[in-house]
Amino acid sequence: MSIVPVDGSITPVVDIATPSSKENGVGFGDSLTRLIGAVDTSGQEANSAVARMLDGSGDVHDAMIALQRAELTFQMTMQVRNKLVQAYQEIMRMPV
């Protein structure tokens, strides 16, 4: 099953029926590593956008957008961490 864009084009945006990511060579640990890297990258981009704004070579809007993007990326990462901790705690409560 595919989700197609609203404009009616045939190109799938997300293919739900794809095989697991392990078969594609990308594991769960790799996905977490990429997620943490994305948080770090967005934080660095936000810092550089604020620095450009302060020295006058950047725009306030660009700095605010970069800050919001970094905040959202961090919040999403924290939610993933919370779900992982909940899953671990649930597994530890299972009787053996």
Per-position pLDDT tens, the chain of length 96? 555 555 544 444 444 444 555 566 688 889 889 999 999 999 999 999 999 999 999 999 999 999 999 999 999 999 999 999 999 999 999 988
The pLDDT score that the predictor gives to residue 15 is 44
The answer as to whether 58 is a domain residue is: yes
Half-sphere exposure of 3 (CA within 13 A, CB side): 3
The answer as to whether 3 is a domain residue is: no
**Minimal CA–CA distance to 58: which of 70, 46, 68?**
46
The pLDDT score that the predictor gives to residue 11 is 46
The pLDDT score that the predictor gives to residue 96 is 81
**How many domains does the chain fold into?**
1
The pLDDT score that the predictor gives to residue 5 is 54
Contact present, 49 and 57 (Cβ < 8 Å): no
The answer as to whether 65 is a domain residue is: yes
The answer as to whether 60 is a domain residue is: yes
Contact present, 77 and 36 (Cβ < 8 Å): yes
The answer as to whether 47 is a domain residue is: yes
What range defines the domain where residue 33 resides? 27-89
User: The pTM is what?
Assistant: 0.66
The answer as to whether 11 is a domain residue is: no
